[in-house]
Amino acid sequence: MRVEIGPVSCVSARAWIAYATETLAVLRTLDDLPPSVLDAFEGLLDTWRPIAARIDTFRWEGDEPPERVKYLLHGLYTAGLVTEREAERGRAHLRPAVADEFHFVLVREALAALEHESDADAHFVKLLRDVWDVARDD
């Protein structure tokens, strides 16, 4: 399936990538997410970093199997919950406001692409939207 992220401000993309890189280091010290998810996130960050380094807007598109997109979205949701828990314990930081635009676009556009793949994928998207504030359409 085709996943397209953007257009979104490169300033927001750079802030989100820096935040995600820092958070990924914290997540690697815990056992909440499988290493395969963390490795996949790191690969995406490596791909997105040079795009975000540009002065203009961030745009990325790629072809990913729906199962991988679901796996990574679930991982991103779980990473957010773990990060909130660790922030309360003083071991992680919450996402800075400047990174919100990129985060919202990333989540919403990945969900929108997945939603049209199959009934099962649409059901998965609905479940995430019911529990994940950033994923909601409203």
How many domains does the chain contain in total?
1
Which pLDDT score is estimated for 55? 82
pLDDT digits (tens, 9 = 90+) for 29-85: 999 999 999 999 999 999 999 999 988 899 999 999 999 999 999 999 999 999 999
Domain that holds residue 28: 2-135
Query: Where would I find the beta strands (DSSP E) of the chain?
Result: 2-9, 57-63
Q: Are 60 and 51 in contact (CB under 8 A)?
A: yes
Please count the helices (runs of H) and the strands (runs of E) in the chain. Answer: 5, 2
- What average pLDDT does range 108-121 have in this prediction? 96
pLDDT for the residue 137: 76
Q: Is the pLDDT of residue 101 over 80?
A: yes
pLDDT at position 56 is: 87
Q: What is the pTM of this model?
A: 0.94
Among all chains, which residue has been given the structure tokens 């397209």?
4
